[in-house]
Amino acid sequence: MVDVTERAKQLRDVAYYPGCALEGSGNGYDVSTRAIAYALGLNLRDVKDWNCCGAMEVKNIDPKVQTYLSSRVLSQAVNKTKNNIVMAPCNGCYHNLKKAEYDLAHDENSREIIDKLSTKAGHQTYEAGQAETIHALDWIKETIGEEGLRERTKGKLAGLKIANYYGCMYVRPRHIFPEKDQGPGSESTSKPHFMDDLLSAAGAENVEFPLKTACCGGAHTLSDSDMSTKLVLNILQAAEASGAEVIATECPTCHSGLEMHQIRAEKRYGKKTNVRILYFTQLLGLALGIGPRKLGIHTNISDSIDFLREKGLT
Amino acid sequence: MPIHEKSLIRPENITSHDELVIEGVDVSGHWSTFIETRVISDYNEEMEQEIAALPGGEHIHRCWQCGSCTNSCTVHAIEPRFNPRYWIYLIRTGMESELLRDKDIIWQCVSCNKCTYACPRDVVPEGVMKATAHWLEMKGHVPESPSMTFDKIFTEQIVEHGRIEDTKVLMQFMKRTNQPLMQDWLKQIVMNIGMRLPVKWGLRSAWNFVFHPRVSGWKKAGAALEDYINEVEQHHKSALGDNKSKVATDNAGQRQLRAAE
Ligand code: SF4
Ligand code: SF4
């Protein structure tokens, strides 16, 4: 039991890997993550000179290029940022770093290629086991926890009905997340609940939402827009049917996919949905009494300012 | 019905006769619905090996046709013709002409990995879909898919700068696929946020637009990646070419053997 507090202490000071999306369309996620870190007294050290993890696209050119890109991020964290816990709020980044970790631990061929590329690129080769990648959900859950949030938020989100949407990359494929599905207390890959836990600790009411890990079509958001719109519309309508007023997200690709295709569904198919879309960090920020602008809520495409005012949250 | 017989019950394979008597038994009407005999002689024996040689296709041989992939598939729910289990069957048996009937939708896999999660044999059907889409393009059966165009633009940007910018990827993609940048829905999005955003945000985006975010010390990494990608591409091309000539000579050898018998 000693290591629980020991670990919580360790996680209070992590290497932070925002990734490309959080510098662009997912800026509200970055701003709100930093804002709650500050409010909760958690330290984020940006990974020095980080690069793109390879997102969902690079592996289709060659999977090893993706492994290399992610391994360079881990190498920068360990060797340049001097921190071996890497916190990545973006599902895509989180997934790719985990996948690189798995590949390097299990595949000799990957190790060779990554070593060759790293040497050519002039930096230290990342070796499996040197770092641990965690998601923003793990980070809050393990440092502050439900108890801590309950104390600090005083149930401020009471009366807010939320559908928690986790998407694909946070849970699939299962083998790259060895810490999940380990019984009570661990995250589940079929019915994830970490976001539910945190938001309900902040007072929100989580609705029974069957599409937590459905796909939003993010990989083809532009190249096959009609498919994405159909998939997103399905998620939005299911959330509304479950009685949700807000969909909480934990990934910039899912988030902007939901927002963009909510508008596209209305424009192209005349299907309007009213459910609001907010990052879970924005919701936690509001619960902690941080103003919506400081959480980047006005930079979201989905307009929820008036709604939040009605709910007494701004 | 076994999945490999699926193709038999297409309308063009079914015949019926209004009046038909066979050996004195009247089988008119719906009793006279027959499935045409099918003879397949043009199996492509290299297809499985070629697809297995492309990234993602490695484990295709493990498939035991349980159907869990199709059953869990995101795209299948929207487009019933999208059927990973069936395509894996066709690839493994070499039924190329049947596979080519679906050539225009295989690239639509959204990489959700529901199939990978469900597959009891670790086939990684998601990878097989990507490898198959790749194979179709390399063989010239289909033009480059919008998804591949997107992946290429994306990767080029990373090789060059180390990071990507979503606005730049979006603009290049629309340009290369000849789509107008200002789609009605994109316009709506820009208007929606434009109304609410402070001037500062606009300035920041403009700044990023002119001064691209760069990763210091990226040059060497970018060069290493560029070399590696070229090498891999060469390798894929020759894997497809080599297999072909190898199997062709094998086949020729067998023909000679048969002729000798
Ligand atoms: S789930 Fe796996 S084993 Fe079953 S049909 Fe699909 S690929 Fe084959
Ligand atoms: S990864 Fe592709 S093939 Fe697999 S379930 Fe998703 S859409 Fe279907």
* Angstrom distance (rounded) from CA A193 to CA A208: 11
Query: Which candidate in A27, A47, A48, A51 is best for mutational testing of the B interface (most B CBs within 10 A)?
Result: A51
Whether residue B123 lies inside any domain: the answer is yes
- Residue A136 or A3, more confident: A136
Query: Which candidate in B59, B69, B74 is best for mutational testing of the A interface (most A CBs within 10 A)?
Result: B74
**Which ligand is closest to the CA of B130, given by its number?**
2
Domain encompassing residue B238: 218-260
Whether residue B10 lies inside any domain: the answer is yes
Specify whether B72 is located in the same domain as B29: no
**Which ligand is closest to the CA of B107, given by its number?**
2
pLDDT for A186-230, tens place per residue?
999 999 999 999 999 999 999 999 999 999 999 998 889 999 999
Q: Does B215 touch chain A (CB under 8 A)?
A: yes
pLDDT of residue A153: 97
Average confidence (pLDDT) over B176-200? 73
Average confidence (pLDDT) over B102-108? 97
Q: Is B136 in the pocket of ligand 2 (CB under 6 A)?
A: no
Specify whether B233 is located in the same domain as B203: no
Comma-separated ranges of CATH 3.40.50.11810 domains in chain A: 146-310
Query: Which candidate in A70, A118, A220 is best for mutational testing of the B interface (most B CBs within 10 A)?
Result: A220
- Asked whether the CA dihedral A292, A293, A297, A298 is positive or negative, the reply is positive
pLDDT for B70-104, tens place per residue?
999 999 999 999 999 999 999 999 999 999 999 99
Q: What is the dihedral of CA A264, A268, A270, A273, to 10 degrees?
A: -10
Q: Residue A244: which region, alpha, beta or left (left: phi > 0; alpha: psi -120 to 50)?
A: beta
Average confidence (pLDDT) over B58-67? 96
**A286 close to A314: Cβ distance less than 8 angstroms:** yes
Comma-separated ranges of CATH 1.20.1050.140 domains in chain A: 4-134
Q: Confidence band (pLDDT; 50, 70, 90) for B26?
A: confident
Whether residue B42 lies inside any domain: the answer is no
Residue of B108, B113, B134 to mutate, ligand 2, most atoms within 8 A of C-beta: B113
Q: Which CATH class is domain A4-134?
A: mainly alpha
Whether residue B1 lies inside any domain: the answer is no
Whether residue B29 lies inside any domain: the answer is yes
Domains held by chain B: number: 4
Specify whether B134 is located in the same domain as B151: no
pLDDT for A236-252, tens place per residue?
999 999 999 999 999 99
**CATH number for the A146-310 domain, one of 3.30.70.980, 3.40.50.1980, 3.40.50.11810, 3.40.80.10?**
3.40.50.11810
pLDDT of residue A33: 98
For residue A302, CA distances in Å to A236, A258, A281, A298, B58 come to 12, 9, 16, 9, 42
Q: Confidence band (pLDDT; 50, 70, 90) for B167?
A: confident
Crossing angle (nearest 10°) for helices A225-241 and A252-269: 100
Q: Is B85 in the pocket of ligand 2 (CB under 6 A)?
A: no
Average confidence (pLDDT) over B143-150? 92
pLDDT of residue B247: 41
pLDDT of residue A236: 98
Is a pLDDT exceeding 50 seen at residue B259? no
Q: Does B217 touch chain A (CB under 8 A)?
A: yes
Q: Is B57 in the pocket of ligand 2 (CB under 6 A)?
A: no
**B121 close to B61: Cβ distance less than 8 angstroms:** no
**A56 close to A223: Cβ distance less than 8 angstroms:** no
Average confidence (pLDDT) over A76-105? 97
Smallest Cα–Cα separation from B197: which of A175, A7, A303, A83?
A303
Is a pLDDT exceeding 90 seen at residue B111? yes
pLDDT of residue B211: 58
pTM of the entire structure?
0.91
Specify whether B54 is located in the same domain as B134: yes
Whether residue B41 lies inside any domain: the answer is no
Residues 6+ apart with CB under 8 A from A250: A89, A91, A135, A136, A137, A165, A166, A167, A170, A195, A279, A280
Specify whether B88 is located in the same domain as B73: yes
CA of A64 to the centre of ligand 1 (A): 24
Specify whether B56 is located in the same domain as B131: yes
> Which amino acid makes up residue A148?
G
Asked whether the beta carbons of residue A23 and residue B124 sit closer than 8 angstroms, the reply is no
**Chain B environment of A231 (Cβ under 8 Å):** 74, 78, 110
* Angstrom distance (rounded) from CA A267 to CA B238: 47
The vertex-A21 CA angle with B186 and A238, nearest 5°, equals 65
The vertex-A145 CA angle with A139 and A146, nearest 5°, equals 135
**Which ligand is closest to the CA of B119, given by its number?**
1
CA of A169 to the centre of ligand 2 (A): 13
Average confidence (pLDDT) over B190-212? 61
pLDDT of residue A221: 87
Quote the minimal CA–CA distance from A166 to chain B in Å: 12
**Chain B environment of A59 (Cβ under 8 Å):** 55, 130
In DSSP notation, chain B reads --GGGGGGGSGGGEE--SS-EETTEE--GGGG-EEPP-------TTHHHHHHTSTT-TTGGG-----HHHHH-HHHHH-TT--HHHHHHHHHHT-HHHHHTTTTTGGG-----HHHHH-TT---HHHHHHHHHHHHHHTTSSPPPHHHHHHHHHHHHHHHHSS--HHHHHHHHHHHTT--S--HHHHHHHHHHHHH--HHHHHHHHHHHHS----TTHHHHHHHHHHHHHHHHHHHHHHHHHHHHHHHHHHHHHHHHHHH-
Whether residue B225 lies inside any domain: the answer is yes
* ipTM here: 0.93
> Which amino acid makes up residue A229?
T
Whether residue B72 lies inside any domain: the answer is yes
From B79, B108, B138, the end of a domain falls on B138
